[in-house]
Chain A
Amino acid sequence: MHIGIVGGGFSGLLAAYLLKKRGHGVTVYEKDEQLGGHCRSLIVNKESVELGTVFSFNDGIRSLLLELDVSFREQCTCRSFIDDEFSMVEQLTREEVARLLEELARFEKILARFAPGFDGADYGFIHQDLLIPVGEFLSHYELPTIAKILAPHLSAYGFGAFQEVQAYYAFSVFKLDTILSFLRGEKLLFMNEGFADLISRLAANLADIRYGSAVRSVERAGDRIAVRSDFGEGEHDKVLISAPLPAGVIKDPVWDGRMSKIRTNPYFVCIYETENRNLVTSYFRANLEKADGVQFFHTWPGKDGCVIAAYAYGDMDPSAVRRVSDDIERSGVSIRRLVCAKRWRIFPHLDRENLTETFYSELAADGRSGPIGFIGGLVAGPSVSNLYNSVAGFVEGFRPAKKKR
């Protein structure tokens, strides 16, 4: 079988790598001149710093990292919270934690009722009750403390406002395990040379990558699928799409209809070098759900000052970046220089009008059996480890290619 893969980010390359290992032919189409998508690292002050919006938990993906000989470390991230007056506060007080533990026990039972939807790494069947905004859902079940810890994270990672994001997305991204893992301060995975290292090692195992080839059409050609890009075309037995495409590119009405419903959120990252030596990853409570206010910053160490990446929600323009810088300085960070500001579009999702109970389950079934399929961030929650589980699970469904005599 020969498979075309649209998108050379982590999911696309991983699918290509795993399929090639099973003996299939693969071609990757990447619209930029460089691979990686959100897995992009910069060298700042001798450290590898992530420009993208990537993070990874500690499960499943380790085997891949060992296989590719990627140098990684597990590290706890300390989180601090900053209030309206720009001083540090506790995430929850002792009394709130006690309430939270009670609520989590209840929450587990409530979620169990909707269990089939949360089984795998991918989005699946969505119970009707979970189509409402997460804020509404949690207040209906009287879970205010969970709301209090979930809201900043949803907002900070660019999933959107608490009164808009559907409960299903919120609980798929922040599964009970994930919430607990955040609360317990468990270790996350970091690549010593940045996530870009993982990308180049995946790419090193692939033969056919087309760079700078934005895909212009995906259409049936007999029993095969033709992919046309600016500079050429290819025919494949199956095409896997791992990145959002403009409406009309996929010539199949059903798949194009699905693609055109998928929305993304604007989000931007500012990387700074600072004078401060001992900064902790900090969340700005006052900016919760506010467009272009800094949501949080992550820190990397440096000999003469930390490097920080600050994340904000909304469209990036010079005044928005200035507001981010101002807020950071008000919290006591002394900025030496702005290294880079970059806009991203993240969290592919459907809005309230379009999301139905069976959208993802039908899409998954068609993707497995038919000649076109969506993979990666289009069908699964965003952490690199979750995408790994999702893509690896999808590829499991392929029969190994027959050996040619």
Chain B
Amino acid sequence: MNGAEKLNILLAGQGDGVKACCARYGISRTLYYRWLRRYESRGMAGLEEGRKRFCPANKTSPELVELILDVVRNNPAYGPRELSYRLQEMGRRVGESAVYNVLRREGLSTRAQRRSYVTRKGHKALEALPRFDGYGSGECWLFWTSYYGRFEPAGDLYAYTILDLRSRIACTRLYADLDIGRFADLLEGVAIPVARLLKLEPKCWCLLEAGGMKTVGRKRGYAELYDLAYRHSFDVKLHAPSGEASPSLQSVRQAMEAYHRRSLADLLPLLKSGAALRDIKTRLQIRLRDYNMTELQDFGGRPLAPLDYHAEATGRRKILPVWVYMERDY
């Protein structure tokens, strides 16, 4: 659990009672007050630091893991020794045991597993995050959810967001539960149609903070996302780090926070105002239309709207589906 989620729980506890809140989130009151104490003494920093995990200094770098997986993709029959030789030919010295450890962590230690990893449309997400700096406009999409609390009569509300890292084109929808399938809905309903007309060509989808999602059905969810990508002729790799925030996540957190500040800032007050959920969803759609189409942001010194930035960066015409100008229920 990350700091923001802990804070959400703390706030919920202040609102509707610590006992009920703890029961709902399945934590003990001891833990609740421990977090509260840390928050009061050190603010967000107190909540951020999680369990200290031992991480060996010589752990294989994410970039090397990615390379090993690439070799596996091309040679699923190779075992650790052959893979190690192959890597040596490519000029990377990686020991057999290091390769084996990577394969084990990725669930690819048997030949059958590697075969199915290659032949199936894919159902497995990569544990490591990619190096974010190598992607152009439209190529690296960030997926995350944020919990907004419990509202009557809608119940729990989560905002699901997909943001293209480079162009900052983004969409958000509100749902009442945590399920990777909701991302499939958001992709199919909004992100993919727009992407296909604008000719965005995603290469990597990063499910950030997937830790909050239920583990049950996660595999099915990944398969659903891969299937969607295939149906729309996208060649994407899915990344879903499950552990603690990795350092490369910090580099995109800024982009995520900037998006929240810009376009979701008035969501919470709106939710608290008790407006009907349908109206809130409509307001959100209008808000995001402005965000993507008209509001100027700073792109390396040039003020542009995200859609215009993408059109300029890729030299493609700005063509959108009709429904972006309409209000839609979902």
Binding site for B on A (CB under 8 A): 75-76, 78-80, 87-92, 94, 97-98, 101, 183-185, 187, 277-280, 301-302, 306
Tell which of A76, A88, A91, A278 touches B233, judged by Cβ atoms closer than 8 Å. Answer: A278
Task: Tell me if B325 and A80 are in contact (CB < 8 A).
Answer: no
Tell which of B188, B233, B328 touches A277, judged by Cβ atoms closer than 8 Å. Answer: B233
Task: Tell me if A185 and B319 are in contact (CB < 8 A).
Answer: no
Residues of A near B321 (CB, < 8 A) are 78-79, 91, 185
Residues of A near B319 (CB, < 8 A) are 80, 88-90
A146 to chain B, nearest CB (A): 13
The interface residues of chain A, by DSSP majority, are classed as: loop
Of chain A, the residue at the smallest CB distance from B227 is A73
Task: Tell me if B233 and A301 are in contact (CB < 8 A).
Answer: yes
Residues of A near B189 (CB, < 8 A) are 76, 185
- The reply on B154 being an interface residue by CB < 8 A is no
- The reply on B131 being an interface residue by CB < 8 A is no
Task: Tell me if A306 and B233 are in contact (CB < 8 A).
Answer: yes
**Cα A265 to Cα B328 with chains together (Å):** 35
Task: Tell me if A78 and B196 are in contact (CB < 8 A).
Answer: yes
Residues of A near B193 (CB, < 8 A) are 76, 78, 185
B314-330 near A? 1/0 per residue, CB < 8 Å: 00010111110110100
Residues of B near A75 (CB, < 8 A) are 188, 231
Q: From residue 277 to 330 of chain B, which have CB atoms closer than 8 A to chain A?
A: 317, 319-323, 325-326, 328
- The reply on B151 being an interface residue by CB < 8 A is no
- The reply on B199 being an interface residue by CB < 8 A is yes
Residues of B near A89 (CB, < 8 A) are 319
**Cα A184 to Cα B189 with chains together (Å):** 9
Of chain B, the residue at the smallest CB distance from A77 is B193
Residues of B near A79 (CB, < 8 A) are 321
Provide a sorted-by-A list of 13 A–B residue pairs whose CB atoms are within 8 angstroms. Answer: A76-B188, A78-B196, A89-B319, A183-B326, A184-B326, A185-B321, A185-B323, A277-B233, A278-B196, A278-B232, A278-B234, A280-B196, A301-B233
Task: Tell me if B233 and A78 are in contact (CB < 8 A).
Answer: no
- The reply on B230 being an interface residue by CB < 8 A is yes
Residues of B near A301 (CB, < 8 A) are 230-233
Tell which of B199, B317, B322, B328 touches A278, judged by Cβ atoms closer than 8 Å. Answer: B199
Tell which of A97, A98, A183, A187 touches B188, judged by Cβ atoms closer than 8 Å. Answer: A187
Please judge, given known A-B contacts A76-B188, A88-B317, whether A97 and B233 are in contact too, CB under 8 Å: no
